[in-house]
Amino acid sequence: MPAQDDVMDLIFGRWRSQTLHAGTKLGVFEAVGAEAKLAGDIARELALDPALSYRLMRALGALGLLQEEAGRRFSITEAGRLMRKDHPQSLRALTLLEEGPEHYALWNHLPEMVRDGKQNAFVREYGRMAFDHAAADGDYGGRFNEAMSSYSNVQSALVIEALATRGLPAGGHLCDIAGGYGHLMSSLLSAHEACTGSVIDLPEVVSDGDKLLAGSFGVAERCNYVGGDMFQSVPAADIYFLKLILHDWDDDECVQILESAHRASDDAARIFIVEHLITDPETPHFSKFFDIHMMCWGTGRERSSDEYAELLSRAGWSHVETWYPESRLMGLVEGAKA
């Protein structure tokens, strides 16, 4: 019965993600190399119980993250290498955040939220907004920041791919609003050598010089970091980017952010809203599950291209076009001054 199999797979899906989380948290992927290694040796290296750690590694093998050979020997697979700290596209930090105790707990509030019409499980669980919790809890805040940087490896590549069709004007000044440590901006400046750029984020973010990425990308001379409040003002620029920012906020808050860019720019400016866009009713898409995560995480939500076009209009912009990478995992909603 295929339908029954599909539902059973959904029911037990959390077993897979929690197995992945345990292996990541315990350092299994760091200890297992390309050459097959005895499970007992891995357990001793990580100070783990040998019998239980073997069972965990066996399950990770069933997920395709490790390769088990005869004699309880394990090597790492290509997928498993993505869980290592040293992988350039590492997803380790994202795993530790999304399957960690905080985000796991949020989903317990989903039925109640849907019943009473009040989203934001972070307030229900911890008594404060997610960003406030990240600022107050160093462990969660550290994992959150690392995960956002990890996720940026995927997101920046998708943005560059989508822009390849559209193109950017040579010599323009770019601004990434709430751009964190500058992964997207550094990627954009690497791909467009005639451009310069600014990254605006909270002062405590951009003052952490050891984590700013422009230097490691070799674009520090063309990239400026600015501390500020995106709701109040942003630097002047020719082209603005908002990558996975507006989905954190309700409609009125989104309009405030878009208005900040509108005030700071001249009549030829453009803006790109980069999000997981809700698709038509017939098309299954990751955005529809990300939207439930946002329901749990705060006051925001995922939106369609048309819904972002409406927000642009409210803030004085007009929708020009929506651009996609081949996978259509994310979309870039382009706006121009109306």
DSSP assignment of 204-246: HHHT-GGG--HHHHT-GGGEEEEE--TTT-----SEEEEES-G
Residue 1 pLDDT class (50, 70, 90 cuts): low
The residues, ordered by sequence, that sit 6+ positions from 54 with a Cβ below 8 Å of its Cβ are: 39, 40, 43, 72
163, HSE (Cβ side, Cα atoms, 13 Å): 22
CB neighbourhood size of 5 (10 A): 9
Is pLDDT above 70 for 226?
yes
pLDDT tens-digit map of 85-138: 999 889 999 999 999 999 999 999 999 999 999 999 999 999 999 999 999 999
Query: End-to-end distance of the chain based on CA atoms, in angstroms?
Result: 55
The residues, ordered by sequence, that sit 6+ positions from 111 with a Cβ below 8 Å of its Cβ are: none
Q: Do residues 199 and 223 touch, judged by C-beta distance below 8 A?
A: yes
The closest alpha carbon to 277, from 320, 318, 327, belongs to 327
Q: Tell me what pLDDT residue 187 has.
A: 96
The residues, ordered by sequence, that sit 6+ positions from 57 with a Cβ below 8 Å of its Cβ are: 23, 28, 32, 39, 42, 66, 68, 74
Quote the mean pLDDT of the chain: 95
pLDDT tens-digit map of 252-272: 999 999 999 999 999 999 999
3-state helix, strand, coil in the chain (%, to 5): 55, 15, 30
If you average pLDDT over residues 262-286, what whole number do you get? Answer: 96
As a whole number of angstroms, the distance between CA 245 and CA 301 comes to 10
Q: Do residues 25 and 96 touch, judged by C-beta distance below 8 A?
A: yes
Q: Do residues 23 and 83 touch, judged by C-beta distance below 8 A?
A: yes
If you average pLDDT over residues 318-322, what whole number do you get? Answer: 97
**Partners of residue 38 on adjacent β-strands:** 73
- DSSP helix/strand/coil, 201: strand
Structural domains of the chain in order of their starting residue, each with its CATH number: 2-86 (1.10.10.10), 155-337 (3.40.50.150)
pTM of the model: 0.90
Q: Tell me what pLDDT residue 153 has.
A: 84
pLDDT tens-digit map of 196-205: 999 999 998 8
Length of the chain: 338
Q: Tell me what pLDDT residue 209 has.
A: 85
Four-point Cα dihedral 257, 263, 264, 265, nearest 10: 110
Tokens of 319: 């929708």
pLDDT tens-digit map of 131-173: 999 999 999 998 998 888 888 888 999 999 999 989 888 889 9
Residue 244 pLDDT class (50, 70, 90 cuts): very high
Q: Tell me what pLDDT residue 308 has.
A: 98
State the pairing for strand pair 173-177/239-243.
Answer: parallel
Q: Tell me what pLDDT residue 79 has.
A: 97
If you average pLDDT over residues 38-51, what whole number do you get? Answer: 97
pLDDT tens-digit map of 65-90: 999 999 999 999 999 999 999 998 89
Element (H, E) at 96: helix 92-98
As a whole number of angstroms, the distance between CA 176 and CA 271 comes to 10
pLDDT tens-digit map of 171-219: 899 999 999 999 999 999 999 999 999 999 999 889 988 889 999 999 9
If you average pLDDT over residues 304-315, what whole number do you get? Answer: 98
Q: Tell me what pLDDT residue 47 has.
A: 98
